[in-house]
Structure 1
Amino acid sequence: MSAIKHSKFWSTLALVASVLSVLTMAAIMFGYLGENFTFREASGHLRTAAQISVYVLGFCAVVALLSWKNKASLLKALIATAIVLTPLMVMKNSMPAGTALFAAAPAGPPPGAGAKGGDDPSTAPINDISTDTQNPPVFSAIIPLRPEGSNAIEYAGQSAAAAQAAQFPDIKPINSPLGKTEAFNRALEVANNMDWEIIAQDPRSGIIEAVASTRFFNFQDDVIIRISEHGTNSIVDIRSHSRVGRSDRGKNGERVRAFIESF
């Protein structure tokens, strides 16, 4: 009887600890979404909460093993394990690459610096994708909206171009048979269909600037589209740049490809 009471106590404690862990992580995320923290502050708090949650996860797993004779306590411990494991997995897969949750961030180039000379371009971190890597579109209207601590907005140059060529060789400018005005209108239509927030649009210069947000944690990336005359036709370039993280897990490349395909 004593063993049963002990298993009930420990399984209840595991459940409470797992719920508190999840609530702590949720509070940090809502604090970030409510702009009470910068991304870097929130990621630091999340790193601490995630590390504590890993210990809670281990505790829940041990309690589950020790409660195998008591079905009610075992079920409670398994539920506790699932509760704390789920947000850890979601955060691990949703946070921008280069955002360390379970260890201190590795030393290396500052965010936005692009690949360095010693990096293998095929594996170098990349967070800025442009159809024109030699003369990439230049952000302007979006700059005042970017929060403090964002990645450098300037294109990283040949190191970034080499990394993109190795990892996304198919991404090229769009040679469109449409005239500049028609291509501009089409690009604006595609951007709206992709649920980007249009920040600026200038048919005369052919520039569209927008913000693309992720659905879960509302991470924001900056996008610029440039339409240039090419005889009676036009050339459409697009650049997608992450505000945070050294690497984008291929998200900017996917976004640019989706725009090109839709256009």
Structure 2
Amino acid sequence: MRVEIKVLGPLEVSVGGVSIVPTASKPSQLLALLALNAGHVVTLSALTNEIWDYEPPRSGVPTLHTYILKLRRKLQDALAGEGGVTSKDILITRRSGYLLNLEPAAVDAVRYDRLSAEGRQAVNENDHERASRTLGEALRLWRGSALADVPTGPQLAIEAMRLEENRLGDLHLRIEADLRLGRHHQLLGELATLCARHPLLENFCTQHMVALYRCGRQSQALEAFRRLRGNMVEQLGVEPSPRVRQLHHGILTGQAVIDDPNFVFNR
């Protein structure tokens, strides 16, 4: 039985190639929370608090049972021809709640976390090639914002935020590894896009400045700093950090160390 659960983008849950994602928002929210906790019991209170934001109606638990019943029906339809496996074997009732009885590795977020940990370990070991490759593999699992089409209550919102923050951190580390491997020319387009999307994030701007400088585009590197500083002063009322100003000074003075692939300013 082939099961795929994707939360790194719009929610996709398929069994044997058949989607079981409900069209209604609250049942989708329920499925997303169960999917992110595959292999673990999710309590009734956790489910109701997620769906109704800690204010479930009196009919909350019966309504939840109805959502589970409908979800089991979709599961049973998808399991047709699977030879003895029923929806109750996959979506199991426990005394305290429900368990989605699937291997956690079926969830793209679980695979992402594993690859992310491996990539960060490679960074710590200064294995830049493996870091770039492994973090790149992790980042390619993403298809958009986490749970992009699912309403998020308190628990899903926290999990989506965690995933998004890790994604930005891994993206920064993967680019750092590529800079250390001398791939500054290949990074220019990606970094320009990231700076436009995240105009207040120093990490991407400093990496863009380094890449531009190494490509012989000193004036554009200085302009990238001016844009960052202007955005930070206007929107946050603060100056860039000392490390960014030091990089700016190094580019102004033509500090040769920045040409060294082992120089990356963001560690």
> What is the TM-score normalised by the length of structure 2?
0.34
Higher relative contact order (CA 8 A, sep 6+): 1
More helix by share: 2
Question: Going by fraction, where is strand more abundant, 1 or 2?
Answer: 1
